[in-house]
Amino acid sequence: MKTGASRKELDAVVEKAKSCDLDVQLNMGTDKVVVAILGSTTGQLDTGIFAVLPGVESVTRIMKQYKLASREFKPGGSRFTCGDVEIGGERVVVMAGPCAVESETQLLEAARSVKKAGASVLRGGAYKPRTSPFSFQGLQKSGLELLAKVKREVNMPIVTEVVEPKNVKLVADYADLLQIGSRNMQNYALLSVAGRSNRPVVLKRGFSCTITEWLTAADYLLAEGNDVVLCERGIRTFEDSVRFSLDISSIPVLKKFSHLPVIVDPSHAAGHYSLVPAIAKAAIAAGADGLLIEVHPNPKEALVDGLQSLSPSDFTRLMSELKVVAKAVGRYI
């Protein structure tokens, strides 16, 4: 309460809390009164209902807003399987493939090479959320069909992006894992529909979002009963020598506050193929459960994100280096 707040103002705050079925504890300081509002649902409460009352100086949230994504909700940590690939276990899961599905030859070549190098999930975007409406938007439905065809050839689970609620059903018919991209992390309508898809979701971090906003967005998917894996892919900072700044500290922070598996996308963070290996190794050393890496059979010809895509030979070399890092931190690939 503000210094000098009246008894009547204090009583009104207490009344408001009681009307919400919450308990209160008053802390009478020499100058100020601090009202502790107690209850298991305070994390989900709109603090504004107290902040607007006369005599209130400020309201500080103690409980986190997210609930289902929190570590308290599931202290042991989540793991789930996708095909025969376990996510969140001892094994570091590497998902790799082109940014966008471009053709059958491109996808098949990428799939064969990443599988040979030890990746266990194939990535490839059929629907691309592009900054400009004039850029290549992906092969869409025919891209999904190519993913299904190549999946039959190489026998790898598929992760592919869904960008709008009306396509969730269609994409889920082809994908083993749905990707929700950075630009859609807070598209709550999409999250709710994807939550009901029966396909685990790779939820990328919005590049201007806090960890709390990210975990609270994950609650939308978890509330529908779905499995979620979080993907750190870099955030926007003042630094302009990389495409985004990879927030390496989000990995231990997420591990501390959430039970969800965490993977890292070094490709979109780096924006340049030469930076991808160091970031990928750092991610595993910091405790990531997996990686999502862009690999193109011929990066120079890529329709999207060629500069940050690894060639099959660079990816193969990186995988052998990653094995060493994984072993050093008690994991394997």
Counting contacts by CB under 5 A, is residue 109 touching Mn ion?
no
Using the contact rule CB under 6 A, the part of the chain among 180-188, 222-230, 281-289, 309-317 near ligand PEP is 180-188
- Using CB under 5 A as the binding criterion, the count of chain residues that bind Mn ion stands at 2
Q: Mapping DSSP to helix (H, G, I), strand (E, B) and coil, where does residue 221 land?
A: helix
- Which region, judged by CB under 6 A, interacts with ligand PEP, from 146-154, 177-185, 208-216, 276-284? 177-185
Q: Would you count residue 243 as binding ligand PEP (CB under 6 A)? A: no
Question: Given the complex with ligand PEP, which of 70 and 160 has the nearer CB atom?
Answer: 160
CB closer to Mn ion, 92 vs 99: 99
Question: In the chain, what is the greatest distance between 2 CA atoms, to the nearest angstrom?
Answer: 76
Where would I find the H helices in 140-245? 141-154, 168-174, 188-195, 211-223
**Which is nearer to ligand PEP, 115 or 204 (by Cβ)?**
204
Least distance (Å) between residue 171 CB and ligand PEP: 14
List the one residue from 88, 97, 124, 125 that touches ligand PEP (CB under 6 A): 125
Q: Is residue 97 near ligand PEP by the rule CB under 6 A?
A: no
Contact of residue 233 among ligand PEP, Mn ion, none (CB under 5-8 Å per partner type)? ligand PEP
156-181: b (≥16 Cβ within 10 Å) or e: bbbbbbbbeeebbeebbebbbbbbbb
Write down the least CB distance from residue 202 to ligand PEP, Å: 9
Q: Is residue 296 part of the contact set for ligand PEP (CB under 6 A)?
A: no
**How many Å from the N-terminal Cα to the C-terminal Cα in the chain?**
55
What beta strand segments (E) does the chain contain? 23-28, 33-38, 80-82, 85-87, 93-97, 121-123, 158-161, 177-180, 201-204, 228-232, 262-264, 290-294
Contacts of 119 (CB under 8 A, 6+ apart): 94, 95, 96, 97, 156, 293, 315, 319
Footprint on this chain of ligand PEP (rule: CB under 6 A)? 99, 125, 129, 181-183, 204, 233, 265, 268
